[in-house]
Structures are given as C-alpha cells and as structure tokens.
Chain A
Amino acid sequence: MHEQHIASAFDRDLEAIQAQIMKMGGLVEAAIMDAARSLETRDEELANQIRVGDQVIDDLEEMINQEAARVIALRAPTAVDLRLILSVMKISGNLERIGDYAKNIAKRTGVLVNMTPVNDSASALRRMAREVEVMLKDALDSYIQRDPDLARDVIERDHEVDQMYTSLFLEFLTFMMEDPRNITACMHLHFIAKNLERMGDHVTAIAEQVVYLVTGEIPDESRPKADSLNQTF
C-alpha cells in the first residue's frame, strides 16, 4: 500500500493528530517519573507541579478528540485511516487516565511528606513507576514505528508490574499488622501501588491499540492474569 494520500491535506491532518498524541505521551511519561521522584525525595513542590500540569494533559485529550471528530466528519476515513482515528481516540483516553493516576500519586505524596517514611517502600514504588514508564515509552515507540511485535512485548511485560503490585500489597499488609500506626501511611502507599498497577493496564490497552492499528485485529487476552492476590483473601 502507498503511504501518501492523494489529498495531501488528509495526511497533514493525521500527522497533526499523531503529533498531539506524542506530545501528550511525553507529558504523561514525565508525570509518572516526577510523581515517583517527588514521593521518594519527599518533594512537595514537585508534587504540586504534577497536579497543575495534569490540566495540560486533559486539554490535549480534549483537543485530540475534537480533531478526530473533525477528521471523521470531513474525511470519512476508512480501513487503516479509520483504525488510526479510532486508536488515537482510545490512546488519548488511556493517556489521560494515566495522567490522572500520576496526579493522584502527587496528592497522596502531599499527605505522606508529613508522615514517617515506611521502610524503603518509596524506592520500591519508584522502581515500579520506572517499569511502567519504560513500558509506556515502548508502547508509544511501537505506535510511531507501527511495530506490533514491540507492542505485544509491552503487553507481556504488564505481568511483571502486576507481580510488583502483589508483593507490595503483601508488604504493606504486613507493616499494618505489625504496627497500627503505619495504617494511614500504608493505605496511601497501597493506593499509589494500585495506581501504578492500573497505569500498567492502560499502557497495555495502548499497546493493544497499536496491534489493532497495524493488523486490524485486537489481540487475544491470553496473558496470564496474576491471581496470586486472590489467594490472600
């Protein structure tokens, strides 16, 4: 298939939307890392910046959805063009949600800085955030390079994030049982871990959209679900 449309303005529209997605992706990646760093370094100022910066991410999502609606109305996209428009709408939604989770981590950091740190949990959470951030980077790379193999690799890696969450969950549970004074902090830390785990799910959804965009097929949910948590209840 040829790369270029006969109507070059159509190509420019599609490129513009994808550039917005990449810009949004870059901001979200930074928000994840900043959130983890602000937690680890107990940097309240940085945490505030994340909360303010989330508005830019929300505005970008809005803009992408409007542009996508325009392209549908004016260009009646079909086949790969249609899949591209459908995928940018979903991906922008996923990125916006990840941004919200980062903002929520920043909010909890604002509370946690006034409490005694619980063990070295902040660095464990930072490693988890790092994993999610790399997954997101690879998912966005696979999108730009139209690389379904890299996207499938990202989908596989979400399993590791799920495992990290499970072990943090058990750790926090132990701390709370050991000393009830840890409960408030551990509740917040647990929600942060859960936020990161949910981010991983949204990154997986983005990677699935890449596979759909390139192949026209949504990948099967064959990934083994981490259900070790179920055994703890």
Chain B
Amino acid sequence: MDDLRLVERDVDANNVKISAQKVQVYYGSNHAIKDVDVDIEDKTVTAFIGPSGCGKSTFLRCLNRMNDTIDVCRVEGTINLDGEDIYDERVDPVQLRAKVGMVFQKPNPFPKSIYDNVAYGPRIHGLASNKADLDVIVEKSLRRGAIWDEVKDRLDAPGTGLSGGQQQRLCIARAVATEPEVLLMDEPCSALDPIATAQVEELIDELRQRYSVVIVTHSMQQAARVSQKTAFFHLGNLVEFGETGQIFTNPEDPRTESYITGRIG
C-alpha cells in the first residue's frame, strides 16, 4: 500500500538537517522546554503545534539562537545543524542566522525600498560583488517569494506600502536572499487574510524543494495543509512527533487527540 501514497505527501529526503537532543530552556527559574529530542529533516516542512505557552515558539527560537537576545534565557542540551553544534562558542550567531532564516508573525519590512529590503542581507554578508550580481539575487529572491510579478515595476517603492500579504511574502523573499538552509516561520499567516494565507502556504510548499522549513502555527488546518511532519508540544514537553497524516487521523497520545479534535485538554 505504501506505493500508493500521494506523491505530494511523500517526504523527499530522510536526511536529518537539525538534530536536537535533551534540550532544556529556562526563563529565569521557569523551565519552559523540558528534555526535547527531535530530528528535523531536510527538504521537509515540519509544523509545531500546541496551546499558547506550550513552548513551541521558544523551541523554534532555539534553532537559530534567537533566545540569545533574551538575558534571562538559558538553553541546555545540544542542537546540531548538519552535525555541528550551533551553541558551540566558535559559532557566530549572525552567520548562523544567515543559514537559518526566520519569518515572523507580523510582516516587518524595513522602512526602506522593496529592493533594499531584499538586498540588505546579501550586502552585509558580502554575497554580491557588484550591483549586477545584487540585482540578480534580488530578482531571484523576489521570485522565490512569489512576489516578483507584483513588485517588479516598483522596486524603489517603500516595502511598508505593500499589502499585508505582500509584505509577508517580501519578508520571506528577504529571508531567502541569504541562501539559508533552514527557514523558521513563527505564525507567518496569523495576520493575513485567507487569500494571502493560501499564497504563503503555496510558497512554503515551493520552498520545501530547497529548504527545511519549520513552521509554528495555531491553525491546526494550516499545519495539516502545509507540513509533512508535525510536532505537538504541551507544557514544555514534546508530546508527539510524527507524520502529519498520522497525527491528524490517528494520534498516539491522548493529549494530542484532545488538542487536535478541540476537546478540553
């Protein structure tokens, strides 16, 4: 029967991109993430779901060391990206974040032109040697962000002048401009209307061809639509991690079942 699986749902690769072991996160005395082990695969969309305060965003932010910016936050355990510990003292968090890009809940374009929004990352990381190279990177990124056709005639216009959905796709274009290997998305559609949401979800599916995508979402249906793997967090624990179809038809843990079916849990 396995041969009859829908091809689109097939996980393309089984290569582990990020491997987390025994991860603990503390905010001061608050133990926010407890003993989380998870392997995130390459070229796969992994969704993190769970009630508010369950730690899914906190864990996501560990994956590119965004939690470093919070003083009281302490991370223990190991997180390897392609086998290398990202919390090693020799790792430069800025370089890490170029490899592990992030898209946030609210579209946050810089108060600059559309062009400069996308060109910013490649410039500071020295990815383009001249203007022509940069033009190529900007166009390629905007195309990957599925927004090129809508903005190609007004690249000098401010990014903040776009609609919410366009701004979010601009932010995704900005995130992919530095050629990341992993893209972290923290509720990327919660401020968008259903059409813009569908466009971003379509984009996520395209991005999966090249990147490993990890998405935090409160919309269970979104997790079901876009991801191949789903992780359910509850009270700082990773309760269940598995193939998305299995999680949504026959979850193993009763807590997962209660949560996804909308029962009091």
Would you give the 0/1 interface string for B221-265, flagging 1 where the beta carbon is closer than 8 Å to chain A?
100100000000000000000000000111100111110111111
Q: In the complex, which range does the number of interface residues on chain B fall in?
A: 10 to 19
State A5–B260 Cα separation when bound (angstroms). Answer: 10
Would you give the 0/1 interface string for B89-116, flagging 1 where the beta carbon is closer than 8 Å to chain A?
0000000000000000000000000000
Q: In the complex, which range does the number of interface residues on chain A fall in?
A: 10 to 19
Please determine whether B221 and A80 come into contact, CB atoms closer than 8 angstroms: no
Please determine whether B248 and A79 come into contact, CB atoms closer than 8 angstroms: yes
Q: Does B220 contact A (CB under 8 A)?
A: yes
Main secondary structure of the interface of A (DSSP, over half): loop
Pick the residue among B220, B255, B265 that contacts A78 (CB under 8 A). Answer: B220
Pick the residue among B256, B257, B262 that contacts A6 (CB under 8 A). Answer: B262
Please determine whether A77 and B221 come into contact, CB atoms closer than 8 angstroms: no
Q: Does A2 contact B (CB under 8 A)?
A: yes
State the Cβ distance, A129 to closest chain B Cβ, in Å. Answer: 36
Q: Does A82 contact B (CB under 8 A)?
A: yes
State A166–B115 Cα separation when bound (angstroms). Answer: 79
State A76–B261 Cα separation when bound (angstroms). Answer: 9
Total of A-B residue pairs, C-beta within 8 Å: 48
Pick the residue among A10, A82, A216 that contacts B262 (CB under 8 A). Answer: A10
Please determine whether B260 and A78 come into contact, CB atoms closer than 8 angstroms: yes
State the Cβ distance, A193 to closest chain B Cβ, in Å. Answer: 34
- Most chain B beta-carbon contacts within 10 A, residue among A3, A77, A80, A82: A80
Please determine whether A82 and B249 come into contact, CB atoms closer than 8 angstroms: yes
Please determine whether A1 and B221 come into contact, CB atoms closer than 8 angstroms: no
Please determine whether B248 and A4 come into contact, CB atoms closer than 8 angstroms: no
State A100–B251 Cα separation when bound (angstroms). Answer: 37
Please determine whether A4 and B264 come into contact, CB atoms closer than 8 angstroms: yes
Given A79-B257, A80-B257, do A3 and B250 touch, yes or no (CB 8 Å)? no
User: Which residues from A are CB-within-8-Å of B251?
Assistant: 79
- Most chain B beta-carbon contacts within 10 A, residue among A2, A10, A216, A217: A2
Q: Does A7 contact B (CB under 8 A)?
A: yes
Q: Does A83 contact B (CB under 8 A)?
A: yes
Please determine whether B257 and A1 come into contact, CB atoms closer than 8 angstroms: yes
State A1–B249 Cα separation when bound (angstroms). Answer: 15
User: Which residues from A are CB-within-8-Å of B221?
Assistant: 76
**Chain A positions near chain B (C-beta within 8 angstroms):** 1-7, 10, 76-83, 216-217
